[in-house]
């Protein structure tokens, strides 16, 4: 009987866990549609400002612009890691965290320093535990990012790049292809290059980068000068890139959590089925043993 009680307790425990994972799956399923809509609604604006910036740059790529001028030597790199406030989302947090940590370690071997901005409670805890204190950290609303966060990040990286505090800015985040699939994106934010500005849109992967074709833009006359227009457009473009990364990551987070919770729910169902079979076998064996004891006792009484 003790074994039966133990199995029954495990079944109840797994059932309770399955109810939690099932509920989280349903919540993420409900939220992912809105998150995807926000990211997709921001996509046309990002594409439009990218094309506008490319048109202006095609009139004369002005390397005297501080945000377009690549530094002669690389002494420090700023990493922006966009992840999640919560776990239980499969490898959504751990994969980009390890990617950034690996890149920082490789740079350290070459004598290049690193700074880190974290968006999400999980990456902040991950790097703080390992002795890396982010220069900026954001938490509490990774699933509902705000433009204020994007403005703070963009202002920090632009000011730091212009002042020479760091020489390159790279952002890591997850792109939601759809409700099911997510892909890791590594995007260089600064310095902007002439090659990047003549692309119709930012590719989402190395494979897309290999096949994308550059566009030739028509010649325009600008008033004021193209250089002044470029000076206004670049900060707006960088804010848009950062904000879109936050929105895209939020959609990817819900998708990753929905998939992880669905997998956990399916596994729990299998465990419950296995334990139920084991419980039934043990119970059948126990009943059989008791019947044998009763029959044996009755036979002994008849022999007396």
CATH of the domain at 115: 3.40.1380.10
56 touches 229 (CB < 8 A): yes
Q: For residue 103, is it within any domain?
A: yes
**Cβ within 8 Å of residue 49, ≥6 positions away:** 233, 236, 237, 240
Partners of residue 223 on adjacent β-strands: none
Q: Is 5 contained in some domain?
A: no
Burial category of 42 from C-beta neighbours within 10 Å (exposed 0-12, middle 13-18, buried 19 and up): middle
- Which residue has better confidence, 169 or 19? 169
* Rounded-to-integer distance, Cα 228 and Cα 39, Å: 30
Contact present, 216 and 59 (Cβ < 8 Å):
no
In a domain, 268, yes or no: no
Percent of the chain surpassing pLDDT 90: 11
Question: Phi-psi region for residue 48, left (φ > 0), alpha (ψ -120 to 50) or beta?
Answer: alpha
Mean pLDDT, the chain, as a whole number? 77
**Structural domain boundaries, residue 70:** 28-257
The alpha helices in 164-216, defined as continuous H runs, are 194-197, 206-211
pTM for the model stands at 0.75
Return d(Cα 119, Cα 132) in angstroms, integer. 14
Does some domain include residue 221?
Answer: yes
Domain-located, residue 3: no
| 198-203: average pLDDT | 49
Count Cα neighbours of 34 within 13 Å in the Cβ-side half-sphere.
Answer: 8
**Is residue 106 situated within a structural domain?**
yes
Query: What 8-state DSSP symbol labels residue 131?
Result: T
Is pLDDT larger for residue 83 or for residue 256? 83
Positive or negative, the Cα torsion across 90, 92, 98, 101? negative
Closest CA to 139 of 131, 149, 152: 149
Res. 51: pLDDT tops 70: yes
Asked if residue 116 is part of any domain, the answer here is: yes
d(CA 258, CA 92): 11
- The yes-or-no verdict on residue 211 having pLDDT over 50 is no
Query: Is 193 domain-assigned?
Result: yes
* Structural domains in the chain (count): 1
């Amino acid at each position: 009987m003790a074994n039966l009680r133990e199995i029954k307790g495990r079944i109840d425990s797994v059932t309770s866990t399955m109810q939690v994972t099932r509920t989280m799956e349903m919540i993420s399923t409900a939220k992912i549609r809105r998150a995807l809509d926000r990211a997709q609604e921001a996509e046309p604006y990002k594409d439009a400002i990218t094309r506008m910036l490319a048109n202006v740059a095609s009139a004369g790529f002005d390397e005297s612009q501080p945000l377009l001028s690549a530094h002669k030597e690389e002494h420090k790199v700023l990493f922006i890691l966009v992840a999640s406030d919560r776990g239980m989302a499969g490898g959504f947090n751990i994969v980009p965290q390890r990617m950034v940590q690996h890149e920082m370690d490789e740079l350290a071997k070459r004598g290049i320093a690193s700074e880190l901005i974290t968006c999400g409670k999980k990456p902040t805890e991950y790097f703080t535990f390992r002795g890396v204190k982010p220069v900026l950290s954001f938490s509490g609303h990774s699933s509902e990012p705000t433009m204020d966060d994007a403005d703070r990040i963009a202002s920090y990286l632009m000011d730091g790049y212009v002042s020479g505090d760091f020489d390159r800015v790279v952002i890591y985040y997850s792109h939601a292809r759809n409700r099911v699939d997510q892909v890791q994106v590594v995007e260089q934010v600064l310095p902007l290059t002439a090659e990047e500005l003549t692309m119709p849109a930012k590719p989402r992967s190395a494979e897309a980068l290999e096949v994308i074709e550059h566009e030739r833009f028509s010649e325009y006359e600008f008033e004021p000068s193209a250089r002044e227009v470029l000076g206004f457009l670049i900060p707006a473009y960088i804010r848009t890139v950062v904000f879109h990364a936050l929105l895209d990551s939020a959609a990817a987070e819900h998708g990753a959590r929905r998939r992880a919770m669905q997998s956990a729910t399916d596994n729990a169902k299998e465990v419950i089925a296995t334990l139920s079979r084991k419980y039934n076998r043990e119970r059948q064996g126990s009943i059989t043993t008791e019947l044998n004891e009763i029959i044996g006792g009755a036979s002994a009484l008849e022999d007396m």
